[in-house]
């Protein structure tokens, strides 16, 4: 695969150049992959992404294992902080919102790790973002705000409930997005960046990790779909924050329809939203399969340029 100078510069930003530049068993060129496909009759009927999955190599599978450990580790950290907040901060407020506090602190820890690794901009945590990137995600936006219509037929004992439920879910989505879209995806994508379908497989693997860590068969299905569409949105917008906002609002709007006794209201609109997200996930997978650029090239526009300081002129001179 021919790598132009601009792309090579982007890759050098993500990882310093070393003697490792020569491809190993997990980083095979186009000619090698095509030759293997032609010589192996059993692989002729397999799609190209599946063929590449078989050739990820040791480095690729180690990166996937590392992504699983990162997800489990930070999820465990949030659980520990939640337990400490409930036991140490013995007030009704902190008992009710200990998970919100833990999500916020754990999310900040993830951002600190991204910053130390030099991936803050490439992960979409900071830097400029592309507003036009929201246009391809129009179906996702509709699906996320659709449960809002059920709030019109709901009532609450106090309006404060609406605000706190929203804040709780926004804090949770902040932690989830910076962990999975910001850290786990970036960690795996960086290892697979020389593969044709590196972005596709990084997205799918990250989505499966999110669904498994979330627990339950329902989470494995719908969590995986949510992860796919929000990863595509992050790549389109070159920023993680639209996904944080929409993920939090989707969960909040789905949880807000309560009657006066706090019993969950109708979930019909949530079901419609999930079906729309399933369609959006299929579209996103087709778009991801067409991507050939590495992850660093897709997010490089988000890297803040180094602006040299203006020379200081003596007072009175033009």
pLDDT digits (tens, 9 = 90+) for 133-151: 889 889 999 988 887 776 6
pLDDT in tens, 53-81: 777 788 888 989 999 999 999 999 998 88
Does 185 fall in a domain? yes
- Rounded to 5, what percent of the chain is helix, strand, coil? 70, 0, 30
Beta bridge partners of 115: none
Residue 229 clears pLDDT 90, i.e. is over it: yes
Does 307 fall in a domain? no
180-194, 202-216, 241-255, 293-307: least confidently modelled range? 293-307
Does 8 fall in a domain? no
Q: If DSSP codes are grouped into helix, strand and coil, which group holds residue 128?
A: coil
Q: Which residues touch 8 (CB under 8 Å, ≥6 apart)? A: none
Cβ pair 271, 96 in contact under 8 A: no
Does 17 fall in a domain? no
Nearest 5°: phi and psi at 126? -140, 170
Does 314 fall in a domain? no
Structure tokens of 287?
């778009």
Residue 255 clears pLDDT 90, i.e. is over it: no
Does 262 fall in a domain? yes
pLDDT in tens, 165-175: 788 889 999 99
Q: What is the pLDDT, as a whole number, of residue 109?
A: 93
Cα(303)–Cα(40) distance, rounded to whole angstroms?
42
Q: If DSSP codes are grouped into helix, strand and coil, which group holds residue 7?
A: helix
Does 83 fall in a domain? yes
Q: Whole domain around residue 114: which residue ranges?
A: 56-302
Angle CA 218–221–227, to nearest 5: 120
Of 11-20, 35-44, 225-234, 298-307, give the range with the top mean pLDDT: 225-234
Beta bridge partners of 258: 264
**Which of residues 129 and 69 earns the better pLDDT score?**
69
Does 9 fall in a domain? no
Cβ pair 264, 168 in contact under 8 A: no
CA R_g for the chain: 22
Nearest 5°: phi and psi at 91? -135, 160
Give percent above pLDDT 70 in the chain: 69
pLDDT in tens, 264-275: 555 567 778 888
Domain count, the chain: 1
């Amino acid at each position: 695969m021919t790598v132009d100078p601009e792309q090579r510069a982007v890759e050098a930003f993500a990882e310093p150049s070393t003697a490792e530049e020569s491809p190993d068993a997990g980083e095979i060129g186009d000619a090698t992959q095509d030759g293997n496909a032609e010589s192996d009759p059993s692989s002729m009927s397999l799609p190209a992404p599946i063929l590449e999955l078989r050739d990820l190599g040791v480095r690729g599978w180690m990166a996937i294992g590392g992504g699983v450990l990162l997800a489990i580790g930070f999820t465990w950290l949030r659980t520990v902080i939640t337990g400490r907040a409930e036991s140490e901060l013995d007030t009704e407020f902190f008992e009710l919102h200990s998970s919100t506090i833990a999500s916020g602190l754990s999310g900040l820890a993830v951002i600190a790790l991204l910053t130390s690794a030099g991936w803050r901009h490439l992960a979409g945590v900071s830097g400029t973002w592309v507003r036009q990137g929201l246009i391809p995600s129009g179906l996702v936006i509709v699906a996320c705000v659709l449960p809002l219509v059920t709030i019109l037929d709901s009532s609450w004992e106090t309006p404060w409930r609406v605000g706190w439920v929203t804040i709780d879910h926004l804090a949770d989505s902040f932690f989830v997005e910076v962990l999975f879209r910001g850290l786990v995806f970036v960690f795996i994508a960086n290892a697979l960046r020389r593969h044709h379908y590196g972005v596709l497989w990084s997205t799918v693997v990250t989505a499966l990790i999110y669904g498994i860590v979330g627990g339950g068969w329902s989470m494995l299905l719908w969590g995986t779909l949510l992860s796919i569409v929000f990863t595509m949105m992050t790549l389109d917008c070159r920023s993680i924050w639209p996904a944080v906002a929409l993920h939090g609002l989707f969960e909040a709007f789905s949880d807000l329809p309560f009657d006066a006794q706090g019993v969950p209201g109708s979930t019909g609109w949530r079901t419609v939203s999930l079906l729309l997200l399933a369609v959006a996930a299929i579209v996103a997978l087709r778009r991801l399969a067409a991507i050939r650029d590495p992850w660093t090239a897709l997010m490089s526009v988000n890297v803040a340029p180094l602006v040299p300081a203006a020379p200081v002129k003596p007072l009175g001179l033009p």
